[in-house]
Amino acid sequence: MRYLLFIIFLFASVSIHSQEVFVPLSQNAVLKSKTVSQKKNSKGTPLELPFLDDFSFSWIFPTSELWLDKEVFVNQSYGSNPPTIGYATFDALNSKGNLHSNIIPSVTRLADSLTSNPINLNYPNDMSIYLSFFYQPQGNGDAPETNDTLILEYYSPVTQKWKSVWKAVNQSNNSVKEILPSSEKIWQPETAKNETFKQVILPILSTDYLQEGFQFRFKNYVSITGLIPSKIGNGDFWNIDYVYLNKGRNELDTVRTDVAFVNPIGSLLTDYKSVPWRHYVNNQQNVKINDFIQINYKNNDNKTRTIDSLYITFRDTLNLTSGGKLEASASNIGAYAEMKPELPIGGYSFPTHSAQRAVFEIKVKLVTSSAFDPSENNQIAYYQTFNNYYAYDDGVPELGYGISGSGTKNAMLAYQFTTYITDTLRSIEMFFNPTYNNENQKYFDLTIWDDKNGIPGNIIYRQSGIKPEYSGKMLQFYSYPIADTSELVLSGTYYIGWIQTAEALLNVGYDINSNAQNHIFYNIDGSWQNSSRQGALLIRPVFRKELITGIEPILPNETQEISLSPNPATDFIQINSQEPQEEFQLKIYDLSGKLILHRPEFYTNTPFSIETLKKGMYLLVLQSEKKVFKTKLIKN
């Protein structure tokens, strides 16, 4: 979860010499913990035309109002120069974010499917029904291997069978051949690398399909490669966008009356994606904020379109207060033109309403004069989060990173940070990517260095016996606490990372969308070197206030300071507190004492989903630095 666009550098093999290694993921962290529901459209009846999805109004999974399955990844990261923001990515991962169970390295196998809900095409002899879509091989991801295929199939309610009607096959020269089995028409090869999306439009003419209950689906076949298990991961990307089925069309109906955003916006902070809220509040004058917001939108029409207005709004999401609205200059946009204006926000500062954390929504919206312009892709938003950590990354790994090869047993990785105030380091959060057969489960020494003229200097903290751990939750980092015996007060510049104890790729998360290259250092032969590629590691230093001993218990029957509602509950609960946004550690146990759910950082007065819990009775425990709260929770 997001996202600005980037170029992914993938390396299929590793040199026998020591080096940095960038590898595809064997899991999708966004999908990893999402619950998948298989349901038809809410009406329970076949959909009526038109059918349109540009994947701008759904996130992670395609909307169940239009689609039956949840195997593709709806995102804003893997496509290159899409027609509108958001697209569906076909790869080698299933709906849980893992490699499909049938995947075998170097063997071509079926992977993802995207199947429409039943559609009413009961229009006998109508020759004007066409299905169109945009597709792109590779994009910002891994290129399909030779003979990897993207296929479109139709389902006939008459024959009750699926039939292939179009496919794109990757060739040995890394070009793509499109094939229409029905007419045996073959287009000229298209390049497979980082090209713009290509549109396909196909008629639906057969009476077998012009029935109530017609369906169509996309499928991809993959053949992931790799000889080293820890480096075998996701790959063979195809992106789909702007799927449109309607009557009253013809083969030339390829122009869309749509002005749309195509890329997301990013952090307003200049040096970091996130900083501790207390550090910002106590040293605002040194926290740099960008003077503008970079946006990117295009006109998909063959006519000039009018932009009536363009504006930015700011909102404190925790206190539900508006931070104002900024109007930006708007102008008409020419046919097929693309605009990348910089919207000025100079002088903006975040209001300090909360004492512990803050989340601000920054939303940019386009207003056009066309009644046919879909509004869903005319607005984008970014959530600027201030918590208790420093981060260069956006929280979503696109690759895995490590140092591997001959002579890397004692290799060192150091990540440079500079604090805005002096504070005590409580933990280091890391996001490691699970690998094929858990080949990255090797011990390392968690290490912190001071600064020596812009490179790591003396070791000021070192803890042995550490290995990659996984939280098991969606996009949740694993926290490595600083030993209780250490009072690690940091100020200025320092470095966090590891010293390896084996020649193994640890495979920490790597965010291609962000650029912290100048802050990443590695040392293999006794000298420190900057990283060779643009990106950011998913490693974060966490700062907290001094721990207070003597925790005071709060019993629900004795005080109304903290309460749970509703209880019994079905989907959501809320911990109500007299103090706004109190921070707790939340744990839910079953009646046998087994820990079922754990949130290291939980804030009161906000809804919390319990959809993953089975029906029954549980023990809910909240613990902060000052108090503990326990109560029974009943899930209906």
Residue 621's domain is classified under what CATH number? 2.60.40.3080
pLDDT tens by residue, 102-159: 777 777 888 999 999 999 999 999 999 999 999 999 887 778 888 899 999 999 999 9
In a domain, 254, yes or no: no
In a domain, 205, yes or no: yes
Residue 93 CA to residue 141 CA, distance in Å, equals 13
Residue 583 has pLDDT above 50, yes or no: yes
Give strand pairing partners of 379.
Answer: 365
Domain co-membership, 441 together with 477: yes
In a domain, 94, yes or no: yes
Residue 389 has pLDDT above 80, yes or no: yes
* Structural tokens at position 244: 């449109």
Q: Which residues contact 271 (CB under 8 A, 6 or more apart)?
A: 287, 288, 418
In a domain, 393, yes or no: no
Domain co-membership, 45 together with 114: yes
pLDDT tens by residue, 442-459: 889 999 999 999 999 999
In a domain, 437, yes or no: yes
pTM, whole model, 2 decimals? 0.72
pLDDT band, very low/low/confident/very high, at 436 (cuts 50, 70, 90): low
Closest C-alpha to 360, from 390, 386, 379: 386
- Average pLDDT for 167-181: 81
- Average pLDDT for 579-583: 70
pLDDT given at position 300: 94
Domain with 562, as residue range(s), is 552-635
CA angle 184, 188, 193 (to 5 degrees): 125
Which amino acid is it at 260?
A
Residue 52 CA to residue 247 CA, distance in Å, equals 12
Residue 93 CA to residue 60 CA, distance in Å, equals 13
- Average pLDDT for 263-270: 92
CA dihedral over 5, 507, 405, 102, signed as positive or negative = negative
Residue 268 CA to residue 270 CA, distance in Å, equals 6
Q: What's the domain count of the chain?
A: 4
Identify the residue with better confidence: 43 or 533.
533
Residue 229 CA to residue 235 CA, distance in Å, equals 14
Domain co-membership, 305 together with 181: no
| Domain final residue, candidates 501, 518, 543 | 543
Q: Are 132 and 197 in contact (CB under 8 A)?
A: no
**What count of other Cβ atoms lies within 10 Å of the Cβ of residue 215?**
20
Which amino acid is it at 242?
Y
* Structural tokens at position 164: 């292939």
pLDDT given at position 32: 43
Residue 183 has pLDDT above 50, yes or no: no
pLDDT given at position 189: 38
In a domain, 161, yes or no: yes
Domain co-membership, 381 together with 427: no
In a domain, 269, yes or no: no
Domain co-membership, 87 together with 204: yes
- Average pLDDT for 271-282: 94
Domain co-membership, 297 together with 222: no
CATH of residue 370's domain is: 2.60.40
Domain co-membership, 85 together with 154: yes
To the nearest 10°, report the CA torsion of 436, 440, 442, 447. -160
pLDDT given at position 579: 67
Domain co-membership, 219 together with 78: yes
Residue 168 has pLDDT above 80, yes or no: yes
pLDDT band, very low/low/confident/very high, at 60 (cuts 50, 70, 90): confident
- Average pLDDT for 352-373: 83
* Structural tokens at position 47: 């959909």
Residue 24 CA to residue 11 CA, distance in Å, equals 8
Domain co-membership, 463 together with 582: no
- Phi, psi of 277, rounded to the nearest 5 degrees: -60, -45
- What single DSSP character describes residue 268? S
- Asked if omega into 24 is within 30° of 0 (cis), the reply is no
CATH of residue 417's domain is: 2.60.120
| Domain final residue, candidates 246, 267, 286 | 246
**CA-CA distances (angstroms) from residue 597 to 118, 470, 481, 594?**
37, 14, 20, 9
Q: What is the mean pLDDT of the chain?
A: 82
pLDDT given at position 204: 96
DSSP string, 361-420: EEEEEEEES-TTS-SGGGEEEEEEEEBSB-BSS-S--SEEEEEESTT-TT-EEEEEEE-S
Domain co-membership, 521 together with 479: yes
Identify the residue with better confidence: 489 or 352.
489
Domain co-membership, 317 together with 457: no
* Structural tokens at position 569: 């509950």
* Structural tokens at position 479: 């926290």
Residue 186 CA to residue 172 CA, distance in Å, equals 17
Residue 47 CA to residue 251 CA, distance in Å, equals 23
pLDDT tens by residue, 470-496: 776 556 788 999 876 567 899 999 999
pLDDT band, very low/low/confident/very high, at 8 (cuts 50, 70, 90): very low
Residue 194 has pLDDT above 50, yes or no: no
CATH of residue 83's domain is: 2.60.120.260
Domain co-membership, 413 together with 529: yes
pLDDT given at position 184: 39
H helix or E strand, kind and range, residue 278: helix 277-282
Identify the residue with better confidence: 567 or 310.
310
| Domain final residue, candidates 199, 227, 246 | 246
pLDDT tens by residue, 498-549: 999 988 788 898 998 899 999 999 999 889 999 999 999 999 999 975 433 3
pLDDT given at position 305: 92
pLDDT tens by residue, 13-37: 333 334 787 665 544 444 443 433 3
In a domain, 106, yes or no: yes
